[in-house]
């Protein structure tokens, strides 16, 4: 039986589709104009890839997608390829019903929620997209193979849905860079739109992992946005001043264990040279208790 969708953004919840064949059939029906009484208009499809455990940051992506597309697909799939620690994969929160409730009324038409054996029917695929040099730096150094897994599943989702535009949050800056690089290098017919990081009342970047922080750890976690603020405040004095200010802001909180702090060029995601002036991005990762968090901010080095 073919899975179909009737787009109604005022409905209580989006339609859930669990198979690639069903996903393609539903969108083919929409694109054919079968539901339109008159001549068919081009139907623009947006994809918001997620691993579930949705929060306000995800909702912002969906709302932006609804502004620029006729059909909004939100994928919910906990991708085993991008986890290097099996225990991290096991404890990743899964709550499809809760996620559907959070999406209701925000513009999502379809939730594509395949099981692992739907995307990887023969087991975890041997053919993978390689993230290259940048994929082994920063997050990739701490989580070997992570970005190969991310790019592989994003490529599979793009192939399954065939969207015109795919949306990601700026919080995952390295992921955004690598997805944009993949789309360009492999001539994929999709536009990548990046939505600014959504922050909580205390400026902590929203993340599905924030739920693992206890009260004391949550207070300590705001060290990350404080580091970025310190870096930005020193940006007119050059890279050495930025790093000194950022490192000073990172010190003194015992619950925060810094993994990396770097300043990268936005066009290459490689560390900028001493004396560089121009657009740059400060990136940070740290463990707060047992929870690993990342954040970043755009700065301009020099006057």
What are the residue boundaries of the structural domains of the chain, listed by start?
15-195, 208-301
The answer, yes or no, to whether residue 52 has pLDDT greater than 60, is: yes
Question: Which residues neighbour 122 within 8 Å (Cβ) at sequence distance 6 or greater?
Answer: none
Distance (Å, whole) CA 225 – CA 220: 11
What is the distance in angstroms between the CA of the first residue and the CA of the last residue of the chain?
A: 63
DSSP 289: T
Enter the tokens of residue 140. 């990739």
Nearest to 54 by CA among 105, 97, 84, 83: 97
List strands edge to edge, sheet with 191-195.
15-17, 110-112, 71-76, 45-50, 165-169, 191-195
**CATH of 208-301 among 3.30.1300.10, 3.30.70.270, 3.30.950.10, 3.40.50.10240:** 3.30.1300.10
Distance (Å, whole) CA 255 – CA 223: 10
Encode pLDDT of 254-271 as tens digits. Answer: 999 999 999 999 999 999
User: Active-site residue among 55, 58, 146, 265?
Assistant: 58
Nearest to 298 by CA among 165, 176, 206, 144: 176
The answer, yes or no, to whether residue 40 has pLDDT greater than 60, is: no
Encode pLDDT of 118-133 as tens digits. Answer: 999 999 988 999 999 9
**Domain 15-195, CATH 3.40.50.620 — does that match?**
yes
Encode pLDDT of 28-38 as tens digits. Answer: 998 887 555 55
Encode pLDDT of 80-100 as tens digits. Answer: 999 988 888 998 889 999 999
Enter the tokens of residue 62. 């969906």
- Return the SS3 of 280: strand
58 catalytic residue (yes or no): yes
- Return the SS3 of 5: coil
Distance (Å, whole) CA 87 – CA 79: 14
Nearest to 265 by CA among 303, 228, 299, 229: 299
Distance (Å, whole) CA 153 – CA 71: 21
pTM of the model: 0.92
Mean pLDDT of 171-199: 98
The answer, yes or no, to whether residue 137 has pLDDT greater than 70, is: yes
């Amino acid at each position: 039986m073919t899975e179909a969708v009737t787009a109604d953004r005022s409905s209580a919840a989006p339609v859930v589709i669990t198979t690639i064949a069903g996903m393609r059939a539903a969108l083919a029906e929409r694109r054919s104009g079968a539901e339109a009484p008159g001549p068919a208009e081009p139907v623009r499809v947006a994809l918001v890839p997620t691993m579930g455990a949705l929060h306000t940051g995800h909702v912002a992506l969906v709302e932006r997608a609804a502004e620029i597309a006729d059909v909004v697909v939100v994928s919910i799939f906990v991708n085993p390829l991008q986890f290097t620690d099996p225990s991290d994969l096991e404890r990743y929160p899964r709550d499809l019903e809760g996620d559907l409730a959070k999406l209701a009324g925000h513009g999502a038409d379809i939730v594509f929620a395949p099981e692992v054996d739907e995307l990887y029917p023969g087991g975890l695929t041997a053919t993978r997209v390689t993230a290259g040099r940048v994929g082994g730096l920063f997050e990739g150094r701490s989580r070997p193979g992570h970005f190969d897994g991310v790019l592989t599943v994003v490529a599979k989702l793009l192939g399954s849905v065939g969207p015109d535009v795919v949306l990601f949050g700026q919080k995952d800056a390295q992921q955004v860079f690598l997805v944009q690089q993949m789309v360009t290098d492999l001539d994929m017919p999709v536009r990548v739109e990046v939505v600014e990081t959504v922050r909580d009342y205390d400026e902590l970047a929203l993340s599905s992992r924030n739920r693992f922080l206890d009260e004391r750890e949550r207070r300590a976690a705001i060290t990350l946005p404080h580091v970025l603020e310190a870096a930005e405040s020193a940006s007119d004095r050059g890279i050495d001043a930025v790093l000194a200010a950022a490192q000073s802001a990172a010190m003194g909180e015992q619950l925060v264990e810094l993994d990396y702090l770097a300043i990268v060029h936005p066009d290459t995601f490689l560390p900028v040279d001493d004396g560089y002036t121009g657009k740059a991005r400060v990136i940070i990762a740290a463990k707060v208790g047992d929870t690993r968090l990342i954040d970043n901010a755009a700065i301009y080095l020099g006057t």
